[in-house]
């Protein structure tokens, strides 16, 4: 039988560790703080940000909320970023995406203090991943790729020498996870597939691990999966269920693939909780790095 890689269970253990580390920081007069900048009232974004602050309360991290209206200008958003950069109570923060149309998201991300980049997506921090081939990175790392690797480690899945097929070249997962997977500490061989890949299904069939991050519901079929492969489902699509008469969340990997694979991440309940846990870890680690030497 295939093994379910339970992100909820693993993230709960990570949160318990973070709770203890936060308590030790507080004994030294340091309270980690997570800031969020939400522009507009997109329901998905509002829910996502609320979940972040619920996580903060769970482990003892201070919540710092900044909200702007949908019609906020670039300069107003930039000013909010500068304020979070300067706020001593803010250990790390995120700018919730997407931003309103017409606002240069990359320019806004570039304004974040790299040391406070809780998402690990600032160009400086991404550059550190490129430079540190050995994997000895001390800057914030991208949350979802880091969460995926931590989840696989928690179940004793060794990626050394394994063939990993990554589906999708988005910056959040596809273009960043390869940097972590190919580091010497992980030592996997990575193939990045995208819309220009001629025979993507041939690549999938040869892979020991498939990381699907396309946002195309049920793209990976059982016939695409090598017997015993590990399946990591990152994509999220809202698909209308005719029988139930409502929308459901569906991943990129068809559930029937579980009959062939060795291990799989449920969706939801797999990668998502790990992403949230890694965001908290980035905030706590930033606070720990800020301690004076010897403390």
Q: Walk along the chain (295 residues) and give the pLDDT tens digit of each residue.
A: 899 999 999 999 999 999 999 999 999 999 999 999 999 998 889 999 999 999 999 999 999 999 999 999 999 999 999 999 999 999 999 999 999 999 999 999 999 999 999 999 999 999 999 998 887 888 999 999 999 999 999 999 999 999 999 999 999 999 999 999 999 999 999 999 999 999 999 999 999 999 999 999 999 999 999 999 999 999 999 887 888 888 888 999 999 999 999 999 999 999 999 999 999 999 999 999 986 544 4
Residues designated catalytic: 52, 96, 119
Q: Which domains does the chain show, CATH number per domain?
A: 24-126 (3.40.50.10860), 143-273 (3.40.50.720)
Annotated binding site: 168-170, 236
Closest of 186, 170, 173, 171 to residue 137, by C-alpha: 186
Determine contact, residues 207/164, Cβ cutoff 8 Å: yes
Q: How many CB atoms lie within 10 A of CB 289?
A: 12
User: What whole-number distance in Å separates Cα of residue 65 and Cα of residue 277?
Assistant: 19
pTM above 0.75, yes or no: yes
Closest of 52, 69, 66 to residue 15, by C-alpha: 52
Annotated binding site for NADP(+): 168-170, 236
Inter-axis angle of helices 43-59 and 7-27, to 10 degrees?
Answer: 50
Sign of CA dihedral 95, 96, 102, 105: positive
Token output for 242: 């005719």
User: What whole-number distance in Å separates Cα of residue 209 and Cα of residue 104?
Assistant: 35
User: What whole-number distance in Å separates Cα of residue 72 and Cα of residue 103?
Assistant: 9
């Amino acid at each position: 039988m295939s093994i379910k890689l339970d992100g909820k269970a693993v993230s709960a253990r990570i949160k318990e560790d973070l709770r203890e580390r936060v308590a030790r920081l507080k004994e030294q007069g340091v309270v980690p703080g997570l800031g969020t900048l939400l522009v507009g009232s997109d329901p998905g974004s509002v829910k996502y940000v609320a979940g972040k602050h619920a996580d903060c309360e769970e482990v003892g991290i201070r919540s710092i909320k900044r909200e702007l209206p949908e019609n906020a200008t670039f300069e107003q958003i930039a000013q909010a970023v500068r304020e979070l950069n300067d706020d001593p109570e803010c250990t790390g923060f995120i700018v919730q995406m997407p931003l309103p149309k017409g606002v240069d998201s990359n320019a806004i991300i570039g304004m974040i203090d790299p040391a406070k980049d809780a998402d690990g997506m600032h160009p400086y921090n991404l550059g550190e991943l490129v430079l540190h081939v050995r994997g000895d990175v001390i800057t914030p790392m991208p949350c979802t790729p880091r969460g995926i690797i931590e989840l696989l480690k928690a179940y004793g899945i060794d990626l050394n020498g394994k063939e990993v097929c990554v589906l999708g070249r988005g910056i959040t997962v596809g273009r960043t996870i390869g940097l972590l997977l190919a580091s010497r500490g992980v030592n996997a061989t990575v193939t990045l597939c995208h819309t220009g890949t001629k025979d993507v299904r041939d690549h999938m069939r040869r892979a020991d691990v498939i990381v699907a991050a396309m946002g195309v519901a049920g793209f990976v079929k059982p016939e695409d999966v090598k017997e015993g492969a590990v399946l990591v489902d990152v994509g999220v699509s809202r698909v209308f269920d005719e029988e139930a008469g409502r929308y459901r969340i569906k991943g990129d990997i068809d559930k029937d693939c579980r009959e062939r694979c060795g291990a799989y991440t449920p969706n939801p309940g797999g990668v998502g909780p790990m992403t949230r846990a890694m965001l908290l870890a980035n905030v706590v680690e930033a606070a720990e790095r800020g301690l004076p030497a010897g403390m």
